[in-house]
Amino acid sequence: MSLQLLHEEPQVLNVGLAAFAESIARAGGKVTQIEWAPPAGGDRAVGLALARLVNHPVVEAANRKAFAAYLAAQPMLQGVGIAREVIPSLRQRLILHAGPPIGWERMCAPVRAAIIGAVMFEGWADDLEGAEKLVERGDVMLAPCHHHGAVGPMAGIISPSMPVWIVREANSGRRTFSNLNEGIGKVLRFGANSPEVLERLRWMATTLYRALEATFVEAGSIDLKPLIAQALHMGDECHNRNVAATALLSKRLLPSMLQSKASREDLAAAVTFIGATDHFCLNIAMAACKAMLDAARDVTGSSMVTAMARNGVEFGIQVSGTGDRWFVAPAPVIDGLYFPGYSPQDAARDLGDSAITETAGLGAFAMAAAPAIVNFVGGSAEDVIATTAAMGHITLGHNTAFTLPSMNFAGTPAGIDVRKVVDSGLQPIINTGIAHREPGIGQIGAGITRAPLACFTQAVVALADMVTEQ
Amino acid sequence: MSLQLLHEEPQVLNVGLAAFAESIARAGGKVTQIEWAPPAGGDRAVGLALARLVNHPVVEAANRKAFAAYLAAQPMLQGVGIAREVIPSLRQRLILHAGPPIGWERMCAPVRAAIIGAVMFEGWADDLEGAEKLVERGDVMLAPCHHHGAVGPMAGIISPSMPVWIVREANSGRRTFSNLNEGIGKVLRFGANSPEVLERLRWMATTLYRALEATFVEAGSIDLKPLIAQALHMGDECHNRNVAATALLSKRLLPSMLQSKASREDLAAAVTFIGATDHFCLNIAMAACKAMLDAARDVTGSSMVTAMARNGVEFGIQVSGTGDRWFVAPAPVIDGLYFPGYSPQDAARDLGDSAITETAGLGAFAMAAAPAIVNFVGGSAEDVIATTAAMGHITLGHNTAFTLPSMNFAGTPAGIDVRKVVDSGLQPIINTGIAHREPGIGQIGAGITRAPLACFTQAVVALADMVTEQ
């Protein structure tokens, strides 16, 4: 085979003898070296299921359809609303949380504390003990954000009175939601629920909400894919680096802010808060990612992952061909850089809906856009390109709406295929913050984690059961 | 020599047989391959001058002092002023222009047209013909920006009534200046002088000036090195990409804008203009670069370059040890990407003071920070890292205040040494916009140019004459 015949640089997945990989790398090819292992650890049932799905025409056609729908999605930021007014189920006494479904009794401490804080914020109880009893008695319903069109970072709490971002996917008209980023310090999403935390939430639901609501009257809706694309050219990967996206959003909103009916005091307070909140745009990017992936949902036979989410106890994925079903495994601990004074012993397990960014081809999948992130999550500048290149082996394609300058403007790898993950043993990589295992302490570091292989093997078996033999 | 003994990755300048370079590159070292040629094209006088300067203890000590002063400089953005009020020489009928000194009769068409526009803007003439006659008669003095502590991109025009940025170097208290960026479209800096151009200049001197002046009353001064450093982590190189720096500056100024006495109408107009002007921060970065380099001026014996500037006819450099003397050579034509409908035949020669960014270790010297720039100036993602690595061979050191994530946080190469340029034949690389050769048409592309070697050979000879034999 002549390399000159290829339109693109060869991408090689080398299994076993490393010398092959080295010779390809020396010739300029991109190589991901993995240790050879039988697919799914040699599990016969999984191997048979995988064999049934590989090259299956129904699966191939379904994946083309799902991936095309993901690529065609147009997430538009419409503005802000109060959760109960835009998510009908929140007219009940319901609190949404991150990750796959989990009962109160099994929840991790930061998520429990955040739920108690939300009960206090809603005024459903007078003190923390009362709030806890209310939830224990079952007088507050709990459900995953993902079951109600929403996503939230870390604990991911959305309660009825909270303001939320509204993203509308232009092709379908479907809306997705996310809570607003609280900034740094003691925050609900890391399980803090002290009076200062609740005070900030109240300020966000009043002053910040008023300023943003008035601004969007003038701003109209904002096309989020070009904004994300530009942020990728400015060193964001839109999961753990959001400083460029936040600055671009601010720049876009500013004239509308000044033309709006919002008071100068509200605007000054709002821009001061946004200016100090480098992750302000993360929640918006997450809602945009959910909108893009929801477009790919429910295509019969498709092996494309439509969600990855963690509740601090379990990691769960959803797959297009299997609808709303979750495939879960224990949430991993995170390999990362810890803030001074903290170590992995202090860390909660992987937590939050923010892995929706990786599911949509951003975050660690777009890490080549963000070499500066290694200061935060560890590794070297070479690693970021290797990570993005490796993820290209487990995806259905690349999203050319999101290009990577350092890889000569290749699109980000996107559309995780559960078959390819199980076949290669290459687990999706996720950039993530690390929460303290105890509530109220907050973020103690950031790092890299990998989606558990068991989620993908279960999905392969379930999907194979649904796909009839040829 | 064991490579393990080196603290840093080896940097190799390979001359001649390419196989040596390939083997070093394969082992992970950074190599710049150049064709061997005798220094200064074999010119005996230059060769002797160079031999006298190389390893000369006075030159070495002077360079340590000059480079340390550059590294220690602290440019602080103080705000805006009207040129005649902050640059005393502009109380006369004087217009400043880019590049080394040049008489009216030898100026290129875009610079002439820009000067005529400035005369009209000042109200010194009623029409373009009258304005031209005034300048021809010598009733308007002309001088380089650099002679009055200032810098300006492209034509670089500063006339008495224009608003200017004021940067104060905190160690010395010395101030440097730049004009304000006019945005895109028909603009004075590309030689346009139609009524709409003058109208925009008047708006900048009134509405925009009022908004910025009121803002800086609240904002105080802004430390520019951290802002530039953060912009480099967000894909700017601060010459032809300034979108991140502009966004970061806006973010920093916003709360002060809203707290200021400026009217809401002025602020809305100002932020709309700034939001549409991605190079708004270029002029500020240029004044900061001049402040850093002025700190290194006038160190007897130093071979460090303190300015590179072009007037569209000649390219000039200044060197620390030779003070305010210019070493000039014909300005080069630019190898670049042309906008549709234009070709190199349409291009003016290299123009503007903006090469002060490269002189200070930004621009093309920091190109590894900005892989997305290849869309604008040409080349590939690999080229940007190779360019920055190559420039490390002709500089006195690296500026660790400005780190490059894609090169594992190495500092930008900075402090161009005229000896190293002449010895290696490696000419400093400059990213630049390309102006049309006819006035009023504007920017027709962007690309890469190299400082002429003749500037550096002249400087070597002049410096050698000043340095006594050991």
Q: Which two tokens stand for residue B221?
A: 């001064």
List Cβ neighbours of A333 (8 Å cut-off, separation of 6 or more): A344, A347, A349, A350, A449
Chain A residues within 8 A of B267 when measuring between CB atoms: 258
Task: Compute the Cα dihedral for A282, A283, A286, A287 and give only its sign.
Answer: negative
Chain A closest-CA separation from residue B143 CA (Å):
37
Spatial contact of B296 and B306, defined as CB atoms under 8 Å apart: yes
Least confident window among A278-287, B222-231, B460-469: B460-469
Q: Which residues of B touch A268 (CB under 8 A)?
A: 255, 258-259
B40 to chain A, minimum CA–CA distance in Å? 35
**CB atoms A247 and B247 under 8 Å:** yes
Q: How far off is chain B from A369, nearest CA to CA, in Å?
A: 9
Q: Is A378 on the interface with B (CB under 8 A)?
A: no
pLDDT lower than 50: segments of chain A: 1-8, 19, 26-28, 470
What's the first-to-final CA gap in chain A, in angstroms?
A: 32
Cβ atoms of B284 and B180 within 8 Å: the answer is no
Q: Which residue has the tokens 């550096």?
A: B456
**Closest chain B residue to A404 measured between Cα atoms?**
B372
**Residue B404 amino acid letter:** L
pLDDT digits (tens, 9 = 90+) for B280-315: 999 999 999 999 999 999 999 999 999 999 999 999
User: Touching check for B381 and chain A: CB below 8 Å?
Assistant: yes
- Quote the minimal CA–CA distance from B440 to chain A in Å: 30
H-helix segments, B183-242:
195-203, 209-219, 224-232
Q: Cα dihedral angle (B210, B214, B216, B219), rounded to 10 degrees?
A: -140
pLDDT value at residue A117: 98
Q: What is the pLDDT of residues B166-177, one digit of tens each?
A: 999 999 999 999
Using one digit for the tens of pLDDT, what is the confidence trace for B421-433?
999 999 999 999 9
User: In CATH, what is the architecture of B75-288?
Assistant: Alpha-Beta Complex (3.90)
CA dihedral (A400, A402, A405, A407) positive or negative = negative
Q: Is A464 helix (H, G, I), strand (E, B) or coil?
A: helix
Binary contact (A233, B372; C-beta < 8 A): yes
pLDDT of residue B2: 39
- What is the CATH architecture assignment of B42-71+295-466? Alpha-Beta Complex (3.90)
pLDDT of residue A21: 53
CA atoms within 13 A of residue B87's CA, in its CB half-sphere? 34
Q: What is the mean pLDDT of residues B205-227?
A: 98
Cβ contact (<8 Å) for A247 and B252?
A: no
Window B:250-309, CB contacts with A under 8 Å? 250-252, 254-255, 258-259, 264, 267-268, 271-272, 275
**Cβ of residue B233 closer than 8 Å to a chain A Cβ:** yes
Cβ–Cβ contacts within 10 Å for residue B283, how many? 25
**Fold of domain A72-288:** Enterococcus faecalis V583 fold (3.90.1710)
Q: Do A406 and B407 touch (CB under 8 A)?
A: no
Q: How far is B272 from chain A (nearest CA, A)?
A: 6
ipTM, interface predicted TM-score of the complex: 0.87
Query: In this predicted structure, what is the pLDDT of residue B6?
Result: 43
Residue B170 to residue B182: CA distance in whole angstroms: 28
Closest residue to B244, CB basis, from A244, A268, A409: A244
Confidence (pLDDT) at A375: 85
Number of neighbours of residue B317 by Cβ within 10 angstroms: 28
Q: Determine how many CB atoms are found less than 10 A away from the CB of residue B123.
A: 8
Q: Is residue B1 over pLDDT 60? A: no
A233 touches chain B (CB under 8 A): yes
- Would you kindly state where each structural domain of chain B is located, as residue ranges? 1-36, 42-71+295-466, 75-288
Q: Which one of B23, B406, B407, B408 makes the best mutation probe of the A interface by having the most chain A beta carbons within 10 Å?
A: B406
CB A190 within 8 A of CB A436: yes
Per-residue pLDDT tens over the stretch B185-201: 899 999 999 999 999 99
Give the one of B233, B247, B272 whose C-beta lies nearest to A372's C-beta.
B233
Determine the average pLDDT of the residues in B342-351: 93
Nearest to B157 by CA among B138, B141, B148, B144: B144
Which sign, positive or negative, has the C-alpha torsion B117, B120, B122, B124?
positive
If one counts every other C-beta atom within 10 angstroms of the C-beta of residue A58, the result is 16
DSSP codes of every residue in B323-378: TT--EEEEPPP-EEEEPTT--GGGBPPSEEGGGHHHHTT-GGGGGGG-GGGHHHH-
- CATH of region A42-71+296-466: 3.90.1700.10
pLDDT (tens digit per residue) in B44-66? 999 999 999 999 999 999 999 99
Cross-strand partners of B33: B14
Name the 3-class secondary structure at B451: coil
Please name the residues in contact with A15: beta carbons below 8 A apart, sequence gap of 6 or more.
Answer: A34, A35, A36
pLDDT in tens, A294-329: 999 999 999 999 999 999 999 999 999 999 999 999
Is there a contact between B255 and A271 if contact means CB atoms under 8 Å apart? Answer: yes
Phi and psi at residue B354, in whole multiples of 5°? -70, -15
Q: What is residue A331's three-state secondary structure?
A: coil
**CB-based contact B251 A252, cutoff 8 Å:** no
Judge whether B18 is closer than 8 Å to chain A, CB to CB. no
pLDDT at A32 (0 to 100): 67
Q: Which residues of B touch A230 (CB under 8 A)?
A: 243
Q: Chain A: residue nearest B384 by CA?
A: A406
Give the residue from chain B lying closest to A269, CA to CA.
Answer: B255
pLDDT tens figures, B63-79: 999 999 999 999 999 99
3-state DSSP helix/strand/coil % of chain B, to nearest 5: 45, 20, 30
DSSP category for residue B128:
H
Here the tokens at position A26 are 């020396």
Test B247 with A248 for CB contact under 8 angstroms. yes
Q: Is B143 on the interface with A (CB under 8 A)?
A: no
pLDDT at B130: 97
Per the CB < 8 A criterion, the answer to whether B176 and B290 are in contact is: yes
Question: Would you call B258 and A264 a contact, using CB atoms and an 8 Å cutoff?
Answer: yes
- B396 backbone dihedrals φ, ψ, rounded to 5°: -75, -20
Which B-chain residues 49-108 have CB contacts (< 8 A) with chain A? Answer: none
DSSP string for residues in B190-205: GT--SHHHHHHHHHII
pTM of the predicted structure, to 2 decimals: 0.91
**Res A6: pLDDT:** 43
3-state secondary structure of A91: helix
